[in-house]
Amino acid sequence: MKIVTPINTFQEIKVMSIRDDYDFENLINETERLVLKYLEDQLQQDFAKDFCKCQDCVLDMAAYALNSLKPVYRVSLLGSLYTHNLDETEYGKEVSAAVNKAILKIAANPSHD
Ligand SMILES: [Zn+2]
């Protein structure tokens, strides 16, 4: 891979350059993956059966949960081999609790009527 080091360029150009020079496809937001997994699980449970599940509400729930969590990123060089290793940890429990709180919060105060 040829890496061009910019000299005397603006920050914007460097940002463009790093995206051209490196493939960020393998940078995985593990927190987002877990939030969506727990959101899917919990929205199917009984306590959520009467909650609005429109596009706006579900995205608000995901955003609310994600904003309350410390992000965890990982670099995936081995495909999905390690994708499930956080689920059973303390962090997995934290994510599950944050998703539960987000569902209840948004269901009680949806951004629409
Ligand atoms: Zn809604």
**If you measure from the C-alpha of residue 64 to the centroid of ligand 1, how many angstroms do you get, rounded to a whole number?**
14
The tens digit of pLDDT for each residue in 21-77 reads 888 988 989 999 999 999 999 999 999 999 999 999 999 999 999 999 999 998 887
Distance 57 CA to ligand 1 centre (A): 4
The model's pTM: 0.77
Q: How far apart are CA 13 and CA 8, in angstroms?
A: 10
pLDDT at 89: 85
What pLDDT was estimated at residue 2? 60
Two tokens, residue 53: 């599940």
* Ligand 1 center to 49 CA (angstroms): 13
Is it the case that residue 82 has pLDDT exceeding 60? no
Distance 41 CA to ligand 1 centre (A): 18
Structure tokens at 13: 């150009």
